[in-house]
A and B are shown apart, each in its own frame.
Chain A
Amino acid sequence: MKEKASIILHCNAVTVEFDGFKAVQGMDFELKRGELRFLIGPNGAGKTTMLDVICGKVRPTAGKVLFKGSVDITRKKEHAIAELGIGRKFQTPSIFHTLTVFENLEIAMSQNRGVFATLRARMRNEDRERMMNQLAMIGLEAKAQWRAGRLSHGEKQWLEIGMMLLQEPEILLLDEPVAGMTDKETDKTGELLHAIAKKRSVVVVEHDMEFVRNFASKVTVMHEGKLLKEGSMDEVQGDDRVAEVYLGKRRDADAGRTTA
């Protein structure tokens, strides 16, 4: 019973079909409160699709997703799921490019999101302070008034992470947050992630093994839409099947990355 209460997200036998093609097949997944979990697997394994299911972007063909043990979010709309406290960062940075950095944070901040509330909303001092702190954390203080579309790739990713944090979700879903980043940017993102994971449950999809090894966290390996292995990084790397499907394909993935 105690065990159960600490589980914040429970995916039960989730299957997703796209025109007959099963991108995810009977996937089980459990996330504890405050846990940082890595989700890895070769290209096309279904990792992004799994996150899509959790945040409501894709409806599973079968299976269930329970939030906090009792709230069934399988059929809820995206904005309702976001309001419940599940934040999502997409694979490509998606920020609002004609809004300034500050404005991006402003609308992301946790608040009443109804039309009449935003029509009357005033910037309170405590809100401003929160946003300023967030700006400092993601290192974009000097660019607060920049149009977000002009930020560099890495800065956009951080802005998006900052937006998600101001949203104050209980679960953060991050899809390849360091893809396309320089080594320096990757290190900085790693620090950000450490700070974030102290307070929230986080699921990170990542290809970069070096990056994953920086965290002493549980790793879930997916392959062809199924759960292949779950355990510590050492356990996962010692597993023969993982070595076969994942590390064997690693070269392709890396090759793909350099051309991307």
Chain B
Amino acid sequence: MELQMRTMTPQRILVLIGYAAAAVALFCAPLYLSDFRLNLLAKFLAFAIVALGLDLIWGYTGILSLGHGVFFGLGAYAMAMYLKLEASGGKLPDFMNWSGLTSLPWFWKPFGSFGFAVAAGLLLPALLALVLGFFTFRNRIRGVYFTILTQALVIITTTLFIGQQAFTGGTNGVTGFGTLFGQSLGKAETKQILYFVTVIALFAAFVLCRYIVGSRFGRVMRAIRDGENRARFIGYNPAVYQMLVFCVSAALAGLAGMLFVLHVGIISPSMMGIVPSIEMVLWVAIGGRGTLIGAALGAILMNAAKSTFSESYPELWTMFLGLLFVIVVVFLPKGLAGLFPQIKLRKRRGMEHEGEGVHYSAL
């Protein structure tokens, strides 16, 4: 949109400088962070990918999912299965032995291939989202009802994973990995490469989301958020849009899950449960929904705060999180990101009465 770009030039430049600075800071992080901190940052960046996906469906399309832990978990388990098979070196994974299995279950076999595991880590969450979306959006189940269904999905999935101990490792999850492509996962060099992979994945996810929200498709998403019925009377089928966004969002969570396992070395049902699912939404709410940068920064900052805070006061963290959430909801409905455009745009946009909310299209 030329018309818009021309009026946004000063801001565009600022934004581009911001992106460049972020890119430099992230790519140089190994120079100024210890291996331990670098590994933590890598984990946070993976979480930022989840936040981007959540922002697409919640911030831009107006559909609150409290079930992204499941999509994250599916991606994580896909990668964990591959790593576990590599670690077991052709033998049966240890937890299967303990549960009395004598041979590898059929659905584990293809996960011996890295390509298959990665594809599954992206497509399984997307497929699950598609099925859930098909039965809800098409039947116009929305708002709280949809959100409750996503919670039900979490409960069903975690219960299933805990119950099927022989196939999933039960409550303990899947852990005890050794190598990736023959390289020890514990080695500093491997961790560094995985960090870079994560940075690249985050940038790719950001570019994808940026493209989506900047396209006409993105404007239809926001139109559906503003008035689903109205969009229908113009001739759009909101269900198809909602399904596609939900799928992309789920696939991004799956991608993040895969990276998470590589950094952390374990995935268990508790990491895909209700609490993590809600936490993911809080990152977006606090960072600022409806802005991609806000969502990503929200995830990174919140997790950084969490690890610093819970090193010293583990019990206080949840309380602090709740308090912060209340503050943001009451005083900053657009999250931390809402603070910036308001200051910048008020001065710049003479043609607007106020800068309120314009950042929907700005970032």
Identify the A interface with B (CB < 8 A).
Answer: 55, 57, 77-79, 82-83, 87-88, 90, 94-100, 102-104, 106-108, 113-115, 118-121, 123, 142, 144-147, 149-150, 163, 167
Contacts and interface: CB of A to CB of B under 8 A. Distances in A.
Interface in B201-250: 212, 215-217, 219-220, 222-223, 225-227, 229-238, 240-241, 244
Contacts of B353: 150
Contacts of B1: 102, 123
B7 interface: yes
Contacts of A150: 353
Contacts of B237: 77, 79, 113
Nearest to B225: A98
A147 B357 contact: yes
B235 A96 contact: no
B102 interface: no
Nearest to B356: A147
Contacts of A142: 351
B235 A98 contact: no
B222 to A, nearest CB: 6
A256 B240 CA distance: 41
Contacts, number: 104
A177 to B, nearest CB: 15
26 contacts: A55-B233, A57-B229, A79-B238, A83-B235, A88-B233, A94-B227, A95-B230, A97-B226, A99-B219, A99-B222, A99-B223, A99-B226, A100-B4, A102-B4, A103-B361, A106-B216, A107-B231, A107-B236, A113-B237, A118-B215, A119-B216, A123-B2, A145-B3, A147-B352, A149-B357, A163-B234
A102 B229 CA distance: 20
Contacts of B240: 114-115
A55 B233 CA distance: 8
B360 interface: yes
A163 B229 CA distance: 15
Contacts of B356: 147
Contacts of A55: 233
- Shortest 8 CB-CB contacts between residues of A and residues of B: A82-B235, A121-B216, A96-B226, A118-B217, A78-B232, A118-B216, A119-B217, A96-B223
Contacts of A100: 4, 361
Given A79-B232, A107-B220, A145 B7 contact: yes
Contacts of A87: 233
A163 B236 CA distance: 14
B244 A115 contact: yes
B4 A146 contact: no
B106 to A, nearest CB: 35
Contacts of B236: 79, 107, 113
Contacts of A103: 219, 361
A97 B231 CA distance: 12
A139 to B, nearest CB: 16
A82 B219 contact: no
Contacts of B7: 145
B234 A82 contact: yes
A167 B234 contact: yes
A57 B220 CA distance: 20
A181 to B, nearest CB: 20
Contact of A107 (B219, B232, B244, B360): B219
Given A96-B226, A97-B226, A107 B352 contact: no
A223 B16 CA distance: 62
Given A98-B360, A147-B358, A163-B234, A118 B220 contact: yes
Nearest to A166: B234
